[in-house]
Amino acid sequence: MDDVVIKYVTRKPRLNKPIFIEGLPGIGNVGKLAAEHLIEELNAKKFVEIYCKDFPPQVFINRDGTIKLVNNELYYWKAKKKRQKDLIILTGDYQGLSSEGQYELSDKILDIVESLGAKQIFTLGGYGLGREIEKPRVLGAATSRELVKKLKKHGVVFRENEPGGGIIGASGLLIGLGKLRGMEGACFMGETPGYLVDPRSAEVVLRVLTKILNIDISFSELQKKAEEIEYIAEQLKELESLSKKGEERKDIDYIG
């Protein structure tokens, strides 16, 4: 068995200079939420399943009792209008567990998208701030100054020393390894507290991305998810404040 197994579930699609978009699990699950929402809204078609020895040895159980071996998946979407581009979208259950696996996976995935004509990569992720945010911004990093300039015009924020540690994982590696192959690329990072999955951050990332891609999609499903999460977050806060009051109560009893 190869370290990375590429399984085509349809014929190799013919695409016209597609743009490659990545959204895998990470901080706030921002990238994965964004990529999945894009796939759903565009009704993109799955054409490759990727299995890897560096994913956990795990199957998930679907609602109907059937199993699914954990994987990554590639979807494609063909442009409908003149100013749009064909897309390849990557999402999945996990990133590689080890450094070596991460490099191996990114390299194999770049092989596929390059063979389909992709020359541009946009990776999506979260930028964890560890605090509540009024209005999340979208931070960026790119493979060239020209692209930085272009993205600034679309509202992407470039800040010195943010994120300080650079970009860790597939979102960084794909544009880093892509650059070595002469591909253009950028990473969009939605600010997020990072405590819970963050559909609101995924939305702002997607709003920037779809504007750049000249694509028009609905965000209502993401907004519904955001409301659900906000409800859960409030419940958690209430629980916490109740338990604190309980403790204070105890303190009083104790003192009394």
Of 198, 178, 224, 230, which is closest to residue 40 (Cα–Cα)? 224
Contact between 126 and a copy of itself (CB under 8 A)? Answer: no
Judged by CB under 8 A, the residue of 166, 220, 252, 256 near a copy of itself is 166
Judged by CB under 8 A, the residue of 43, 57, 80, 220 near a copy of itself is 57
Contact between 20 and a copy of itself (CB under 8 A)? Answer: no
User: Based on CB atoms, which residue is closest to a copy of itself, 86 or 143?
Assistant: 143
Size of the site for a copy of itself (CB under 8 A): 57
d(CA 241, CA 123): 38
Contact between 22 and a copy of itself (CB under 8 A)? Answer: no
Shortest reach from residue 34's CB to a copy of itself, in Å:
19
Contact between 51 and a copy of itself (CB under 8 A)? Answer: yes
Angle at 27 (CA atoms; ends 25, 28), nearest 5 degrees: 90
User: Based on CB atoms, which residue is closest to a copy of itself, 32 or 200?
Assistant: 32
Q: How far is CA 138 from CA 141, 208, 224, in A?
A: 10, 8, 21
N residues, the chain:
256
Dihedral (Cα; 236, 240, 245, 249), 10-degree rounding:
120
Adjacent-strand bridge partners of 128: 192
Of 79, 26, 78, 70, which is closest to residue 52 (Cα–Cα)? 70
Shortest reach from residue 185's CB to a copy of itself, in Å:
8
Q: Footprint of a copy of itself on this chain (CB under 8 A)?
A: 1, 3, 5, 7, 51, 53-61, 63-70, 96-97, 99-100, 102-104, 106-107, 140-145, 148, 158, 160-163, 165-170, 172-173, 175-177, 179-180, 187
